[in-house]
Amino acid sequence: MGSATANATTYHNFIDGAWVPSVSGAVFENRNPANTDDLVGVFQKSTADDVARALDAARSAYERWRLVPAPKRAELLFRAAQLIAERKEALARDMTREMGKVLDETRGDVQEAIDMTFFMAGEGRRQYGQTVPSELRDKFAMSMRQPVGVSAIITPWNFPMAIPSWKIIPALVCGNTVVFKPATLTPLSALNFVRILEDAGIPPGVVNLVTGGGADVGNALLVSDAVRVVSFTGSTEVGRTVSSQAAPSFKKVHLEMGGKNVIIVMDDANLDLAVEGCLWGGFGTTGQRCTAASRVVVHEKVYRSFLDQFVGRAKGLRVGDGLDPRTQMGPSVSQGQLDTVMKYVEIGKKEGATLACGGHALTAGAYAKGYFHEPTIFSDVSASMRIAQEEIFGPVVSVIPCRSFDEAIAVGNGVQYGLSASIYTQDINRAFTAMRDMYTGIFYVNAPTIGAEVHLPFGGTKATGNGHREAGIAALDVFSEWKSIYVDFSGRLQRAQIDTAEL
């Protein structure tokens, strides 16, 4: 361990209400992607033994937590939401330091956790079931939600507080307990979130945090019979592994995976508005969003005018450290992510797309110790090119010309993913047709593909997801099971579908 590591703050796992080191004794570093000299902290490199301890704690706590009335569970979550709001600025600065996106965006990330926690806490009094008439006399019929058990929560680095809130808070309000494995690139934001839940009074063992890699921590969660539901956000490739690993024990599995989202710009669009939307959708969070607008399909009548404005604005974006209030786009999160961006830029060139702007890593001066890349736009892209088909997760946007509305819809749907899409048009008929015909989980009109709100379902179709949704009340379906209940007070045997009630 070097001197820089020795002087850094060392953070621990949170298991059964206590902050404890890994049994492995091993740690890993967390560094600022805008300046790798800045060591954010040292975190536990955990093993399957740490996971086993966390699962034992969660399984034991479940027997008590599931019996706490849901409105009482919600009181603790309301308190947690208030604490997040009080600490918002400090949480945002920690997040920018370890993840790189600009402060306005990390403040938004924290605000999303505030919103989600308040919203889901309200579900403590609204986990509605149904009461229905029975076909037989003197018989009562109803349904209710019941918790599932121990929940494994596996989250990515791009929204290191918002996404955990989407999963952990509904799990808790439904009466489940949690073992949380955050991304190794953003463990501090995860730890800050768990610390707030501890400060809000969540009982020991109800929420457990284990940091470390997917091979050791993630796989141990997936194969454990103690885990009854897995909620994972990440790449489609890893999502397939999650699904296959969890299948033998018949766990519930919620997968939120990749996207190759499209903005359609029709010939009647407000071009100034469309350009603004494409800048935000394509380069917000340095393109590191599953909902990022990495494809723009533009009608040929306005193609050149749109492209000129879009390229001009992208060239003017200020790239730098997200803690600098002048910065408009931060770094990639890691060297590996930057390498992926550079690889796809070369792929785009070889495929014959025109590099309209950008295309280079930024390495000189203030950029020398970070993972920076220019905002990059390819024009004259065909829909079949790899840069228009594969998720890049970086500041690279493909602009594709089209000749008609129908062609734009076909191009929009012509990828393996189905998360988010949008259209810019002043024609209400086109807007509603696109709403119907784009096979995605999210759709926008005259707005980019990013900007989901917590009270509507979030998720996608095809290779983006496996049919579940998070956010909104749909999240309750991931973390609860339906139970149908029949109460016969007739005092005699009544056989449904066989005996008939007297008139």
Q: Is the distance from CB of 377 to CB of 392 less than 8 angstroms?
A: no
What local confidence, expressed as pLDDT, does residue 1 receive?
A: 38
What local confidence, expressed as pLDDT, does residue 7 receive?
A: 75
State the 10-residue block means of pLDDT for the chain, 503 residues long. 64 98 97 98 98 98 98 98 98 98 98 98 97 96 98 98 98 98 98 98 98 94 97 95 94 96 98 98 97 98 98 98 97 98 98 98 96 98 98 98 98 98 98 98 98 96 95 97 98 93 72
Non-local CB neighbours of 161 within 8 Å, separated by 6+ positions: 84, 91, 95, 109, 110, 112, 113, 189, 190, 192, 193
Of the candidates 256, 374, 391, 470, the residue annotated as catalytic is 256
Q: How far is CA 291 from the centre of its chain?
A: 9
**Residue 389's CATH number:** 3.40.309.10
Pair (239, 290) in one structural domain: no
What local confidence, expressed as pLDDT, does residue 4 receive?
A: 53
- Alpha helices (H) in 229-302, listed in sequence order: 236-246, 271-283
Query: How many domains does the chain divide into?
Result: 2
State the residue range of the domain holding 181: 3-257+465-483
Pair (52, 191) in one structural domain: yes
156 inside domain = yes
Is there a catalytic annotation at residue 256? yes
What local confidence, expressed as pLDDT, does residue 8 receive?
A: 86
Non-local CB neighbours of 84 within 8 Å, separated by 6+ positions: 91, 110, 113, 114, 117, 161, 193, 196
Of the candidates 112, 123, 198, 290, the residue annotated as catalytic is 290
Is there a catalytic annotation at residue 402? no
Pair (219, 136) in one structural domain: yes
501 inside domain = no
C-alpha dihedral over 478, 483, 484, 490, to 10 degrees?
A: -160
Q: Is the distance from CB of 416 to CB of 307 less than 8 angstroms?
A: no
Pair (278, 427) in one structural domain: yes
Pair (125, 90) in one structural domain: yes
Structure letter (DSSP) for residue 248: G
